Copies of this chain bind each other. A is one copy, B any other.
Amino acid sequence: MEPKENGSELGQIIDGPTNPMVTPLLNDLYQFTMAYAYWKAGKHNERSVFDLYFRKNPFGGEYTVFAGLEECIKFLANFKLSDEEIDFVRDCLPGSEEAFCDYLRGLDCSDVEVYAIPEGSVVFPKVPLMRVEGPVGVVQLLETPFLNLVNFASLVATNAARHRFVAGKSKSLLEFGARRAQGPDGAISASKYCYLGGFDATSNVAAGKLFGIPLRGTHSHAYVSSFMSTDEIVDKVLRSADGKTTCEDFVSHVQTWLKKIQYSPSLSGIFSETNQSELAAFTSYALAFPKTFLALVDTYDVMKSGIPNFCAVALALNDFGYKALGIRLDSGDLAYLSREARNFFCTVERELKVPGFGKMVVTASNDLNEETIDALNKQGHEVDAFGIGTYLVTCYSQAALGCVFKLVEINNQPRIKLSEDVTKVSIPCKKRSYRLYGKEGYPLVDIMTGENEPPPKVKRKIILSKVLIAFYMIYFLISKVGERLLCRHPFNESKRAYVVPQRVEELLKCYWRGSADEAREELPPLKEIRERCIKQLENMRPDHMRRLNPTPYKVSVSAKLYDFIHFLWLNEAPVGELQ
């Protein structure tokens, strides 16, 4: 998995995509047949502009997190067909002329420009996430890989953000999905983009290594079942945390604690015999990891066996200066069991005088998703960390995002894609887009304009002086009229609003201008992208974010662009005849 160098000789190098299988052949065949047909018609170098956008927010929500941009730029910067790949393409296009292979051989992205919204931004339908400009022959070959790299990345980042929203800021969120993900990089990229969307850690070691994501994991049920009894533990010695003392028989020490718990006044009667294979497993795991002891307590019975066994081991560790981390629950009524476990821990703290024991971390896993976490919140629970797998990484409640890549201009001619379904009509022209912020600091509306329209103006800040107050009041009224901006729904004539923005942010920034050396936005580290995402999500008006019946965020076009869209639409659409 050596990063490929791009053609640049000036110095800057952008590594290739994380997955070496992302090559120009990760493409629909029709991109190559079109490339050939463009080339055959002498059109392959016509300057084209394509927008990459989606039409509908996922998961019944009103926002999306944009992710996948870095991988697109890495792909683009290293875009080059190998001879072997060209041979294969030739075989796929029987009858094609040999000179086309020469064209493919020379193909790279040195004449392509990519403008994009920064990765980790909160984004909305219809507004281009990326605007890709360049010779139509090569840009067409970017469609499938870009869509593939953006669709799942944005979907799973959004899913992570939604899980964070329902779990709340104070909880730890752990992604545990590797085994159920849609293939190997379904797993690895889910880990990456869940972290981006606000998760704290992953169980996926490869993702930890590739992206520096914190890793989490302890043991499974199999580990517990693999033991039969404590007799199996041969090396029973535990050195204390400070290295000063040694416990020669940690197993007996644990057994002693188990008895103490069993017969302590408030805990007696809760359990009798605990499962000995479980006790053996916990003890041996603690001997291996005395500093980070965390046990899965539901292999046999949480309250009658798992919790008492865990407490015995944790208390034994405590005698030698080690603080156990906590437990994981992987089945049953998580709200009830977490509360019972917390009670047990607090009772131990009180009765056996072990300060802090009640604060043991309770981790819950087992088919969690937005709905189950919401239900746990309503029932009341004592869970500190959620381990979420299947529903998170496969985006079970909506397994695909529908980003599209549409031609909006060629040879300076705006193009529109019509459809009987209005939501599928594309917004033509090479465009700019802006996010307008209101008085309270929340984003109010996104607006698209033609490339050459003047940018929206910010409301000027007027410091009122007492003397000039009357004058300024008149000035203010005029200026407000001057600055207010008409934002129109792109397709619905009656939906429009005047906006006086307090702040204007241009959304599309240049990420590629032909080479890694040309002035462009840097690709920030994943951690920074994650921080942007968290900050942007926190800065949204709460009614856009709520799970139930959220308010749609407004997306608009300028009055000028609106008129042009409808002019073009009428021009291209055939007039029907009713018979």
Contact = CB atoms under 8 A, between A and B. Distances in A.
B40 A287 contact: yes
Interface in A182-199: 182-190
A143 interface: yes
Contact of A219 (B23, B34, B221, B574): B34
B225 A407 contact: yes
Interface string A418-437: 11110010000000000000
Q: How large is the interface on A (under 10, 10 to 19, 20 to 34, 35 or more residues)?
A: 35 or more
A226 B48 contact: yes
A26 interface: yes
Interface in A15-35: 17-23, 25-34
A284 B417 CA distance: 20
Contact of A184 (B50, B148, B290, B415): B148
Interface string A148-179: 11011100100000000000000000001011
Contacts of A405: 222
A222 B22 CA distance: 23
Interface stretch (A227-235, A340-348, A482-490, A537-545): A227-235
A209 B25 CA distance: 9
Contacts of A290: 95
Interface stretch (A117-125, A200-208, A466-474, A492-500): A200-208
Nearest to A283: B41
B184 A226 contact: no
Contact of A43 (B182, B187, B226): B226
A331 interface: yes
B26 A178 contact: yes
A38 interface: yes
Contacts of A415: 225-226
B226 A407 contact: yes
A179 B144 contact: yes
A240 to B, nearest CB: 13
Contacts of A184: 17, 19, 21-22, 26, 148-149, 185
Interface stretch (A108-116, A372-380, A390-398, A457-465): A390-398
Contact of A399 (B187, B217, B396, B413): B396
A182 B181 contact: yes
B228 A413 contact: yes
Contacts of A418: 299-300
Contacts of A299: 417-418
Contacts of A32: 205, 217
Nearest to A273: B574
B21 A209 contact: no
From A94, A206, A222, A332, name the one whose CB has the most chain B CB atoms within 10 angstroms: A222
A152 B21 contact: no
B417 A574 contact: no
A204 B26 contact: yes
A238 to B, nearest CB: 12
Given A28-B203, A50-B222, A143 B179 contact: yes
A64 interface: no
Given A27-B206, A188-B26, A182 B152 contact: yes
B284 A37 contact: yes
Given A21-B206, A179-B151, A205-B25, A37 B300 contact: no
A133 to B, nearest CB: 14
A215 B178 contact: no
Contacts of A144: 178-179
A128 to B, nearest CB: 15
Contacts of A417: 221-222, 225, 299
Given A1-B20, A19-B21, A419-B331, A179 B34 contact: no
Nearest to A27: B205
A572 interface: yes
B176 A28 contact: yes
A445 interface: no
Contact of A180 (B27, B147, B179, B185): B147
A218 interface: yes
Contacts of A46: 226
A220 interface: yes
B41 A233 contact: yes
A140 interface: yes
A285 interface: yes
Interface in A380-420: 390, 394-396, 398-403, 405-407, 410, 413, 415-420
6 contacts: A34-B222, A41-B288, A42-B234, A43-B284, A301-B573, A331-B420
9 residue pairs, one from A and one from B, having the closest CB atoms:
A29-B217, A30-B217, A147-B179, A182-B182, A394-B399, A37-B288, A399-B399, A40-B288, A222-B407
Given A22-B184, A156-B182, 8 more contacts: A21-B184, A27-B204, A41-B232, A94-B292, A143-B220, A149-B184, A179-B403, A394-B400
